[in-house]
Amino acid sequence: MVSDINFLLVGNSRLHWAKYSKSKSKFFHTKKEQKVPENIDLDQLIWASVGKLPNFLLNKENEINTKDIKLSNLPDYFGVDRALACVGALKIIENPLKKDLVIADFGTILSITKLNPNGFIVGGQLSPGFLTQLKSMKENTKNLSVPKKYDIPTKEFLLTTEEATLKGVINSLKGVINSSFNPLKDILITCGGDSQFFTNFIKTKKKNIINAPNLVMEGMIIHHLSIKKLL
């Protein structure tokens, strides 16, 4: 029996946690300035990072880096979160037709990664995420502000500035997805903090879209258990 194992991904804006116990996983998220959750042994914590490290010490021996992950054609400079998402997708996504997998991670950055069913990394795309776009528009213009509510309009053309801003950003992200995903050849997996919100707005009658919000953390667990030969 595997004892409890705790995992952490340091993101750009949040900390993402997972607890693996008795073959089951639980996931939760905290802000970087929050205290370490109870019952977390930092010396034993398995972790990876794509953002600025928090203000508590992490055991370097327990860090997962991209170079530790065994995928074909995976560059060392690929973000470890993208690599772990690939590990998770290959393991948990049913793919009987052996289609390519397109992973769209909706976080601070919208990262898109494509791999074939054998785990060969084809490549990807990076673009500003939802809040990143909204904050950038506020910072670089005089009269725009970040909307307080994210009620996405159903109409395509709007008169109010707030609605027009929201619709424009949503359409820009949808456009990136729709131009990257061919449902005849691919399975689209959405993950990340904004993925459940955005999956509803990817306008399509196409099948082969799966929302797996904690895919990166699932990949981290799978990777760790496999190298420890516990999986």
Whether residue 44 is found in the same domain as residue 140: no
Residue 37 and residue 141 in one domain: no
Shared-domain flag, residues 135 and 207: yes
Do both 206 and 223 map to the same domain?
no
Write out pLDDT tens, residues 177-205: 989 999 999 999 999 988 888 887 775 55
Considering the domain architecture, whether residues 60 and 100 belong to the same structural domain is answered as: no
Token digits for 35?
């205290």
Beta bridge partners of 119: none
Same domain, 53 and 108: no
- Which pLDDT score is estimated for 1? 45
Count structural domains, the chain.
2
Q: What is the mean pLDDT of residues 103-123?
A: 96
User: What is the per-residue pLDDT across 28-62, written as a single tens digit (0 to 9) for each?
Assistant: 999 999 999 999 999 999 999 999 999 999 999 99
- Tell me: do 196 and 99 sit in the same domain: yes
As a whole number, mean pLDDT of residues 68-78 equals: 96
Q: What is the CATH number of the domain that holds 27?
A: 3.30.420
Residue 86 lies in a domain: no
Q: Choose the weakest-confidence range: 67-71, 107-111, 191-195.
A: 191-195
- Predicted local confidence at residue 148, as pLDDT: 86
Q: What is the pTM of this model?
A: 0.92
Supply the CATH number for residue 99's domain: 3.30.420.40
Residue 53: give the domain boundaries.
Answer: 5-64+219-227
In a domain, 77, yes or no: no
53 and 131 in a single domain? The answer is: no
Q: Which residues contact 116 (CB under 8 A, 6 or more apart)?
A: 100, 101, 122
The per-residue pLDDT for 152 is 84
Sequence-separated (6 or more) residues with CB below 8 Å from residue 54: 10, 15, 32
